[in-house]
């Protein structure tokens, strides 16, 4: 069991398959991209599956989310999913993606055992998408989402980040569109995880701003804490139901007390929090032929030291040196 000193138990594992991405979102990385991890530094497919097996069979993990970077850039992703689906007990498996590669992979991922997907889409306007991502791939994302829905990777959840001066006015339109398409929409506050370290609290669109905008067109009724559990999104029932909308307010309404996540980077480091400044190296243990029991003990020790919160409200807070693309979402 992955338990910390505050009694929280981590059952949800986020696994970054690569730090690479085929978009250049302004809130994530610079236009020229980043210095990617060298291939020898990345976990191999076998190493990823081994760590997931240890997490599932020895440490009580029940959910696995594949992330990146852009996880669909990982050549062996379908095989990784298939091998993890064969584990006993079988974990629930999902994928967070920008959607560009879903049209060609959705059917294979479903057949391999993937349960559902989260797709990042911040705007319905192709021109704004191009400005935000520095790539002209808006239709590819829409096509990928439709392919995921048709393949049965449902519910398809849409993650949207609103930025001042770009798409801040789109919340009601995004929700109306998601309802029409049968997707579940979640807005995410912009977090201080950009490679440029340009994030500023006073320049972000907050959960309060988002809800105020949505209420200009919809009636929202809070679901309540019992329904939320350890989920990062607060959810509201839209116009009496059955549709809902979520808001992940990592900055203004942190949910650290209910956190049940542990994170594995593409180069084999355990992170106890998105905003952690410390990591525990599991890759070195794997490559020194350490037995599963040793790897599990390292992981448990790392989680035991998890801090009470993200530290975002502390005046001395410093962004992690590694950006979101390296950490995994």
Annotated domain spans of the chain: 2-326
The tens digit of pLDDT for each residue in 72-127 reads 999 999 999 999 999 999 999 999 999 999 999 999 999 999 999 999 999 999 99
Paired strand residues for 185? 158, 245
CA 27 to chain centre: 15
Whether the per-residue pLDDT at 322 is higher than 90: the answer is no
Does 120 count as an annotated binding residue? yes
Does 65 count as an annotated binding residue? yes
* Architecture (CATH level 2) of domain 2-326: Alpha-Beta Barrel (3.20)
Across all residues in the chain, what is the average pLDDT?
Answer: 90
**Could you tell me the two tokens for 73?**
């850039």
Does 259 count as an annotated binding residue? yes
Residues 6+ apart with CB under 8 A from 112: 78, 79, 81, 82, 85
Cis bond before residue 135 (omega within 30° of 0): no
From the list 322, 266, 273, the residue with the least C-alpha distance to 66 is: 266
Does 84 count as an annotated binding residue? no
Does 201 count as an annotated binding residue? no
The tens digit of pLDDT for each residue in 166-179 reads 999 999 999 999 99
Does 191 count as an annotated binding residue? yes
Does 240 count as an annotated binding residue? no
Whether the per-residue pLDDT at 19 is higher than 60: the answer is yes
Share of the chain above pLDDT 90, in %: 69
Does 329 count as an annotated binding residue? no
- Tell me the C-alpha distance between 312 and 192, whole Å: 9
Does 27 count as an annotated binding residue? yes
């Amino acid at each position: 069991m992955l338990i910390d000193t505050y009694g929280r138990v981590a059952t949800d594992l986020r696994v970054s398959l690569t730090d690479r991405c085929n978009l250049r979102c302004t809130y994530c990385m610079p236009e020229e991209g980043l210095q990617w991890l060298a291939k020898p530094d990345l976990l191999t497919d076998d190493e990823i599956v081994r760590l997931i097996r240890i997490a599932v069979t020895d440490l009580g993990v029940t959910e696995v989310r594949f992330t990146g970077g852009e996880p669909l850039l990982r050549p062996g992703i379908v095989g990784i999913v298939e091998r993890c689906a064969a584990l006993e007990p079988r974990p629930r498996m999902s994928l967070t993606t920008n959607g560009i590669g879903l049209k060609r992979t959705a059917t294979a991922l479903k057949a391999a055992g993937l349960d559902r997907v989260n797709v990042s889409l911040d705007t319905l306007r192709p021109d704004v998408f191009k400005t935000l991502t520095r790539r002209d791939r808006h239709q590819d994302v829409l096509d990928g989402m439709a392919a995921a829905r048709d393949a049965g990777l449902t519910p398809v959840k849409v993650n949207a980040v609103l930025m001042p001066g770009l798409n801040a006015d789109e919340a009601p339109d995004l929700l109306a569109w998601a309802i029409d398409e049968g997707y579940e929409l979640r807005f995410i506050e912009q977090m201080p995880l950009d490679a440029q370290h340009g994030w500023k609290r006073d320049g972000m669109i907050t959960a309060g701003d988002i809800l105020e905008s949505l209420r200009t067109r919809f009636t929202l009724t809070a679901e309540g804490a019992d329904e939320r559990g350890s989920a990062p999104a607060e959810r509201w029932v839209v116009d009496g139901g059955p549709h809902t909308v979520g808001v992940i307010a990592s900055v203004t309404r942190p949910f650290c007390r209910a956190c049940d996540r542990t994170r594995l980077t593409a180069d084999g480091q355990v992170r106890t929090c998105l905003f952690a400044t410390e990591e525990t190296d599991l890759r070195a243990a794997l490559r020194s032929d350490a037995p599963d029991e040793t790897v599990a003990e390292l992981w448990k020790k790392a989680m035991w030291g998890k801090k009470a919160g993200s530290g975002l409200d502390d005046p001395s807070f410093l962004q992690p040196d590694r950006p979101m693309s390296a950490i995994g979402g």
